[in-house]
Amino acid sequence: MTLPAPSSPRSRPSASAESASAGIADIANWRAQFPALDQQVHGQPLVYLDNAASSLRCQASIDAELDYYRHGGANVHRGLHALSERGTAAFEGARAQVGRFLNAARPDEIVFVRGTTEAINLVARSFVRPRLGAGDEVLITTLEHHSNIVPWQLICADAGANLVVAPVSDRGELILEEFARLLGERTRIAAFGHVSNALGTVNPVAEMVALAHQRGVPVLIDGAQAAPHLEIDVQALGCDFYAFSGHKVFGPSGIGALYGRHQHLSAMPPWQGGGDMILSVSFEHTEYNVPPHRFEAGTPNVAGAIGLGAALAYLESLDREALRAHEHELLAAATAAVGEIPGVRLVGTAAEKVGALSLRMDGNPPIHPHDVGTILDREGIAVRAGHHCAQPLMARLGLPGTARASFAFYNTLDEVASLAAGLRQVRELFG
């Protein structure tokens, strides 16, 4: 296929006057805090609609990391000199900020990890594997990201246990009655996403936690896609574990957080050995540190944690209700505009969604999502194309993949219009 030449440059996306959810000045101020937005791609102003994969970094997070490196960068914990003490205070301050963001009962319920994937692997290996035997079960859903599938497959294979999967409807909604039915005497944990990365479906997580706890089943929630969009209260949810990643919430890559109830973390063995997870070591015996340090072996990503804390502090400084209303308006406008394009089929039409719009472009033959993504990129529009690390979900829907536009609060209605115009160009190119 010969790619078309980029069209004439568009005007830079603005805080559209059509937005009813937030003022023009508000959106302009939000956008000003994300320096990556101020660039061109293939001669066009960037329209960044790949936020479900990684959000852009806010200036506060960038500045916090740079400040740590510029004024020391010393290692944390046990250091007696000023730079180490300063770094430790900032690192532990970031832990407290994460705890406030999730409304954890105490800061030591927050474990720093590389991201959601590592958090799930930690829980799988340290909490679930010791209590998992032959014939036991781990319950997940069809909506899961690979990161909430493969770790459970690994420990089930080790133990001779079974991975049980709750089904979804054609609309991409969990069938709650089936989830409840599959909770059984052999279920050792229920692990599910708060929001689907591929479809944007919001799961009824409070009901799911309640159903699991009625049967004595602990719960892990993958909150990677929820954290940028929804206010999270782990105490109100009642979950046992909650995980999210920094790069989804306008912070650094390679850092994330696991919330775990204190009684669970205190009873869990370490899953990695090394520095800082110990109290004392001899060749005969090692005494392990208390949580959360027990699970943070080695030199941590100090700058990443500090950057994450700064990103969350920035996010919490904003009117979260205004952000949610604006994002809802973006998704509704995109659903309407894209749905009007001939041959476009929306994938995932749950009643409650946030952040993501997945689609197929039908035809004879259908237009491959990779072609859609490539052509949109020539117009400066960044979307994701493929199976979105959710191959079992795509198989359930009978699709090899989709093109996915995903939104953050710094996106505008003008950018939604650019997306729709770009998709119409794809349609015209393929006839």
Fold of 24-32+319-430: Aspartate Aminotransferase, domain 1 (3.90.1150)
Q: What is the pLDDT of residues 106-137, one digit of tens each?
A: 999 999 999 999 999 999 999 999 999 999 99
Query: What would the mean pLDDT of 245-255 be, rounded to a whole number?
Result: 98
State yes or no: pLDDT of 31 exceeds 60: yes
pLDDT at 47: 98
State yes or no: pLDDT of 327 exceeds 90: yes
Q: How many CA atoms lie within 13 A of 380 on its CB side?
A: 24
Please give the Cα distance from 107 to 265 (Å, whole number).
12
State yes or no: pLDDT of 24 exceeds 80: no
- Given CATH 3.40.640.10, say whether it is the number of domain 61-317: yes
Between helices 413-430 and 369-378, what is the axis angle to 10°?
A: 120
Closest CA to 422 of 357, 385, 375: 375
pLDDT at 16: 54
pLDDT at 21: 62
Query: What would the mean pLDDT of 345-365 be, rounded to a whole number?
Result: 95
pLDDT at 380: 98
Strand partners, 361: 344, 367
Q: What is the pLDDT of residues 404-427, one digit of tens each?
A: 999 999 999 999 999 999 999 999
pLDDT at 11: 67
pLDDT band for 89, please (50, 70, 90 cuts).
very high
State yes or no: pLDDT of 341 exceeds 70: yes
- Is 239 in the active site? no
Please give the Cα distance from 304 to 306 (Å, whole number).
5
Contacts of residue 235, Cβ cutoff 8 Å, sequence gap at least 6: 103, 104, 105
State yes or no: pLDDT of 295 exceeds 90: yes
Closest CA to 342 of 367, 307, 310: 367
Asked if residue 103 lies in contact with residue 232, where contact means CB atoms within 8 angstroms, the answer is: yes
pLDDT band for 3, please (50, 70, 90 cuts).
low
Asked if residue 44 lies in contact with residue 397, where contact means CB atoms within 8 angstroms, the answer is: no
Q: What is the pLDDT of residues 312-326, one digit of tens each?
A: 999 999 999 999 999
Closest CA to 419 of 45, 90, 42, 31: 45
pLDDT band for 373, please (50, 70, 90 cuts).
very high
pLDDT at 13: 62
58, 156, 239, 389: the catalytic one is 389
pLDDT band for 275, please (50, 70, 90 cuts).
confident
Q: Which two tokens stand for residue 295?
A: 């699970």
pLDDT at 73: 86
3-state secondary structure of 257: strand
Query: Which range (17-31, 52-66, 270-284) has the least confidence?
Result: 17-31
For residue 256, the surrounding DSSP H or E stretch is strand 256-260
Asked if residue 110 lies in contact with residue 102, where contact means CB atoms within 8 angstroms, the answer is: yes
pLDDT at 23: 75
State yes or no: pLDDT of 101 exceeds 70: yes
pLDDT at 362: 92
Instruction: Let me know how long the chain is.
Output: 431
pLDDT band for 72, please (50, 70, 90 cuts).
confident
Per domain, the residue ranges of the chain are 24-32+319-430, 61-317
Asked if residue 277 lies in contact with residue 296, where contact means CB atoms within 8 angstroms, the answer is: yes
Q: Which two tokens stand for residue 1?
A: 């296929």
State yes or no: pLDDT of 19 exceeds 80: no
pLDDT at 12: 64
DSSP string, 81-140: SHHHHHHHHHHHHHHHHHHHHHT-SSGGGEEEESSHHHHHHHIIIIIIGGG--TT-EEEE
Please give the Cα distance from 288 to 294 (Å, whole number).
6
State yes or no: pLDDT of 20 exceeds 80: no
Q: Hunting for tokens 């909150």 — which residue is that?
A: 223
Please give the Cα distance from 76 to 92 (Å, whole number).
9
State yes or no: pLDDT of 15 exceeds 60: no
Q: What is the pLDDT of residues 45-60, one digit of tens each?
A: 999 999 999 999 999 9
Q: What percent of the chain is predicted at pLDDT more than 70?
A: 95
Please give the Cα distance from 63 to 45 (Å, whole number).
24
Contacts of residue 199, Cβ cutoff 8 Å, sequence gap at least 6: 143, 172, 347, 348, 350, 353, 356, 358, 393
State yes or no: pLDDT of 17 exceeds 90: no
Q: What is the pLDDT of residues 182-235, one digit of tens each?
A: 999 999 999 999 999 999 999 999 999 999 999 999 999 999 999 999 999 999
State yes or no: pLDDT of 142 exceeds 70: yes
- What average pLDDT is seen over the chain? 95
DSSP string, 273-320: -STTSEEEE-SS-EEEPPTTGGG--SS--HHHHHHHHHHHHHHHHS-H
Strand partners, 245: 256
